Structure 1
Amino acid sequence: MEYLPNILFTIILVLGIGYFVRNIKKLIRNIKLGQEVDVSDNKSERWKNMARIALGQSKMVKRPISGFLHVIVYVGFIIINIEVLEIIIDGLFGTHRIGLKVLPKSVYGFLIGSFEILAVLVLVSVIVFWLRRNVIKIKRFLSSEMKGWPKNDGNIILYFEVVLMCLFLVMNATDTSFQAISSGNIISQFIAPWFEGLSAETLHIVERTAWWLHIVGILIFLNYLYFSKHLHILLAFPNTYFGSLDPKGKVNNLEAVTAEVKLMMDPNADPFAAAPEGTEDEVPAKFGASDVMDLNQVQLLSAYTCTECGRCTSACPANLTGKKLSPRKIMMDTRDRLEEVGKNIDANNGKFKDDGKQLLGDYITNEELWACTTCNACVEECPVSINPLSIILDMRRYLVMEQSAAPMELNNMMTNIENNGAPWPYNQMDRLNWKDE
């Protein structure tokens, strides 16, 4: 019975980490459903972007209040969880505060004291975030796509953080051996008096309960991430690394279209020549995207990375003028459809069974796509380098080149360019008439 707590701890740890790894493998599988894209260029610049944007939070602080509070929560939560290493060692080997045995008391006290201060700062920041969402009700958290689960998810993660920080402080406050060294208990020394009058045995039970709930809570939090927008805690790093390095106004060309144009302009090319052997039965590449499998892997990674903060939508001129487009919804819809496809694959022995649905139409409407002005405001605002515009453009391409479903004004313009060499409806011979007026 002496080793029962250690065995129980090991089982919980293995199950928690195992379930997390299983979900991460599923996430990687879903992302790989997208088209491959070459992101092997300019590695040094990519590393700099990841360090500056994901680690350094450089784009978060453009909005000082929320940015500063987010930095506190981010830094505090990451640093405090360094103590998880000590908890894991203690849980596996039956030790108690192993850090005190391997570190000088002053160093250990400095670390725990820093953790306690950060825990209080995280608590304050989380409470402010909760007030902003639920009392002040900031407009970008009230959009139609933020009803139901997205709204609840934002609050659930705040409650998680409050509980974990409180358990950490209570664990320290009721640990009589830790309080006795009078080093590192910068905050917990003021909480300890709340438990005066309790017997040593009861204090030990409270401390052990807080200890167990803290580590189990962290494992639950870790596995909750897969189902939450807070997956960005992990994915912000690869997403900023793989983010586009091109100027924001640059639009890529479709390789299939480029090859066709080159063929048309090659005076030596024979358009009636037989196709190369072995290519007769190949399905022509789809122009643009109508479903998540048509998007590239970086776009699908971005869908999972979306923080649902709404900065993109709050800066979108189309949305600000009352149009239906919300760049945040574009990313949320892409992720939801990708999850639906993933569940379809799981239910059909690893193969996708046509469900009669697709991203275009069932999730994202033509009206949303054509409302976009391609101004790149959403791309500029995103704190983790997500590019909703690239998805919008790929789906527009599908509408125009596969379905000829562009708005009438655009169709007229393209017809004029094709026939007259200009967007205006007059003959090419009359293009210089203006100079005679």
Structure 2
Amino acid sequence: MSASVHGDAVAQVQQTDGTIRLAVAKQRHFKGTIVLAIATVLLALLFLLVPRDGVSTFHLGDSSQSFALPNVQVPTALTCWIVFALLVLLTALSSWYAWNYRAQPLWLTIVFAFLGVFAFLVWAGAGGLVPVSSLLVGSVSLSVPLVFGALGGVIGERVGVVNVAIEGQLLLGAFSAALLSSATGNPFVGLLGAMVGGVLVAFVLAAFAIKYLVDQVIVGVVLNVLVTGLTGFLYGALLAPNENELNRPIRFERIKIPGLSEIPVIGPVLFNQTIIVYLMFIAVAVVAWGLYRTRWGLRLRAVGEHPQAADTVGIKVNPSRFWNVLLAGAIAGIGGAYFTLVSVPTFTKDMTAGLGFIALAAVIFGRWDPIRATLAALLFGFATKLQDLLTVLKTPIPSEFMLMLPYVVTILAVAGFAGQIRGPAASGKPYIKE
């Protein structure tokens, strides 16, 4: 008999005296090392095949701050190859962890990603100016809907329901926020309406998936199509003819935190934002803490991993799934509000542009963990913002390639890594009490 415990093979071995003991055969996992090695080789090929000389200038200041930091200049070619050597060392360290049956630590991945992005920006900024603060601010802005959608996906899948309807929750949230904020002149009413819109989509998903045992993926896809058609129809029939009254939402203004917003580089990114961004910071921290440190999180994870065992200790599996899916929908709805209450001052058809599916990929990329999923969402947002910078810097890489990058990563996450990363055991499986 064999089983799996933390990725290692477990087998029963019968000794000569008739007793049975468990023998654990550890397995080396080099997937992380291979990914780092491929990234290192690609950067080396870029530096060799398309060499760039000169000086790269990094602009660290921001117009919202009362003082400006001096620009930082580095030699392009020398800096690229020094960072490349550091990446080789990190890849070797990752290989050492794998060879010794140890998991690759998160800090190593973060440091590698930071250095890799820095080397690429040095290469891209040869003879030009890289505005660091605006790049980071834009990346966070593009990532906000993805983070809220990913948090909703994490909660849904952790409790056992695959939330493919994130796209619909974002879109209906954006529509509801625009409509109610325009009608009342209050952005907070629009934010509440966006949460209600996300809950409505989640309610239909939960009802069909939990109560009527319909395939969760099919229900999610159908809901996305339904919400796309519904919001498109209401936009043409209701918002477009009454644009000034119903499609001119009052937006949230930036709230500048005194003192903290003056911190170089990170001040404008973290402490000069709208209330929805601050809610995002709070939501990530609360969900991450609650999932692993509270009774709610313990019950949620128990229902998603082994509903039969949870049922035997008195946890009501299906009601727990139902209410947590509604919570996930409300969180995703806040992400939809960001489109019309912060980003764009009007609602347009299909304005979410498939970001709900990228948020779902961030859930998989993040291994169903709130912090990791947030980092994955930030990565997608950064890749999207980077293509604008590449156009300004006139790099040899076409900007269209960077536009494709988030979607290529999405495909790799779903097709390449979904089968290798173990999600919640009962995710997508309806529970029928015997």
Q: Above 0.5 in TM-score? A: no
Structure with the higher strand share, 1 or 2: 2
* Higher RCO, Cα 8 Å, sep 6+: 2
Larger radius of gyration: 1
